[in-house]
């Protein structure tokens, strides 16, 4: 194919979206993604039930989501635990029976929560790279996400020990 980007004027050899859609729907039972009406045999590119324009798109048969989601859960675990403990420290400061946890531990919790927040952001931003990586590299990174969360919590427990 000489042209990869769509232009404002369609080449005469390329069928319009409506034609491709009509051919696709000619002998298949397909639901409208909006109203779920069966649009089999539709002659136009507009759903007759909800009156919305339809188009054909390329979709993945099996989206490679497991690694991304698993890693996100692993990193979010660390973010959640450290942020929750930091919140608990704040609550403890408002109680008046003295001898609350030291500020140093609170600052450490905030720092660890921040580290995890940055890692979550980085994980989400690099989702495409993760999907393109080999299965072994992808799952190694997922394991690393959990190790980071567990490791930082162990560090906190060691440092916060009275």
Can you give the three-state secondary structure of 43-90, one letter per residue?
CCCECCCCCCECCCCCCCCCCCCHHHHHHHHHHHHHHHHHHHHHHHHH
By CB neighbour count within 10 A (0-12 exposed, 13-18 middle, 19+ buried), where does 145 fall?
A: buried
Helix (H, G, I), strand (E, B) or coil at 52: coil
Q: Considering the complex, what minimum distance in angstroms separates the CB of residue 34 from Zn ion?
A: 5
CB of 36 to Zn ion, least distance (A): 7
Residues 39, 31: Cα–Cα separation, whole Å: 6
Residue count at the site for Zn ion (CB under 5 A)? 7
Residues 16-75 that bind Zn ion (CB under 5 A): 32, 34-35, 37, 47, 49-50
Q: Which of 35, 66 has the CB closer to Zn ion?
A: 35
Q: Which is nearer to Zn ion, 19 or 31 (CB)?
A: 31
Task: Provide the Cα torsion 143, 146, 150, 156; round to 10°.
Answer: 120
- Contacting Zn ion within 119-158 (CB under 5 A): none
Closest separation in Å from C-beta 48 to Zn ion: 8
Q: How far is the CB of 25 from Zn ion (least distance, A)?
A: 13
Residues that bind Zn ion (CB under 5 A): 32, 34-35, 37, 47, 49-50
């Amino acid at each position: 194919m000489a042209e990869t980007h769509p232009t404002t004027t369609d080449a005469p050899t390329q069928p319009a979206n409506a034609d491709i859609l009509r051919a696709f729907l000619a002998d298949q039972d397909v639901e409208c993604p909006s109203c779920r009406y069966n649009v089999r045999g539709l002659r136009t590119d507009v759903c007759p039930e909800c009156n919305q324009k339809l188009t054909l798109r390329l979709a993945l048969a099996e989206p490679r989501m497991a690694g991304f989601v698993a890693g996100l859960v692993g990193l979010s675990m660390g973010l959640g635990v450290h942020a929750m403990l930091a919140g608990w420290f704040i609550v403890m400061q408002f109680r008046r029976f003295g001898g609350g946890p030291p500020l140093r531990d609170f600052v450490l919790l905030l720092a660890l929560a921040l580290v995890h927040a940055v890692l979550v952001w980085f994980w989400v931003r690099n989702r495409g790279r993760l999907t393109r990586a080999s299965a072994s590299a992808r799952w190694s990174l997922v394991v690393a996400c959990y190790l980071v969360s567990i490791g930082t919590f162990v560090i906190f427990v060691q440092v916060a020990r009275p």
